Amino acid sequence: MNGHPTREEDFDLYALGALEGDEKQAIETHIAVCPECAAKLAAARGRVAVMSFAAPRVDPSPRVKAELLARVRPEAGAFVPGPAPRQTKSPVIAGRVFGRWWAAVLAPIGVALAVATIFLWNQNERLDRELANLRQTVAAQQKNLEETRHAADLLAARDTVVVPLMPMPGVPKDSMARVTYNQQMGMLMYDGNLGPAPAHMSYQLWLVPMQGDPINAGVFNPQAGKTEHWMMHLPAGVTAKAFAITIEPAGGMPHPTGPKVLVGAIS
pLDDT tens across 187-204, in order?
Answer: 999 999 999 999 999 999
Instruction: Using alpha carbons, list the distances in angstroms from residue 35 to 16, 38, 48, 122, 187.
Output: 20, 5, 20, 21, 54
Q: What share of the chain is helix, strand, coil (3-state, %, to 5)?
A: 45, 20, 35
d(CA 97, CA 95): 5
pLDDT band at 59 (very low <50, low <70, confident <90, very high): low
Lowest model confidence (mean pLDDT) among 74-88, 139-153, 234-248: 74-88
d(CA 238, CA 102): 84
d(CA 252, CA 257): 10
* Domain ranges for the chain: 9-131, 161-265
Question: Which DSSP helix (H) or strand (E) runs through 23?
Answer: helix 21-31
Average pLDDT over residues 149-168: 91
CA–CA–CA angle 169, 170, 172 (5° rounding) = 105
Q: Are 222 and 195 in contact (CB under 8 A)?
A: yes
As beta bridge partners, residue 163 has: 179
pLDDT band at 208 (very low <50, low <70, confident <90, very high): very high
Per residue in 241-265, pLDDT tens? Answer: 999 999 999 999 999 999 999 999 9
Q: In this prediction, what percent of the chain has a pLDDT beyond 90? A: 35
- Higher per-residue confidence, 249 vs 120: 249
Q: In this prediction, what percent of the chain has a pLDDT beyond 70? A: 72
Closest to 121 measured CA to CA, from 1, 4, 15: 15
**pLDDT value, residue 60:** 57
Q: Buried b vs exposed e over 137-151: b needs ≥16 C-beta within 10 Å?
A: eeeeeeeeeeeeeee
- Higher per-residue confidence, 4 vs 232: 232
- The CATH number that domain 161-265 falls under is 2.60.40
**pLDDT value, residue 79:** 44
**pLDDT value, residue 267:** 80
**pLDDT value, residue 199:** 93
**pLDDT value, residue 66:** 67
- Higher per-residue confidence, 256 vs 120: 256
Average pLDDT over residues 182-191: 94
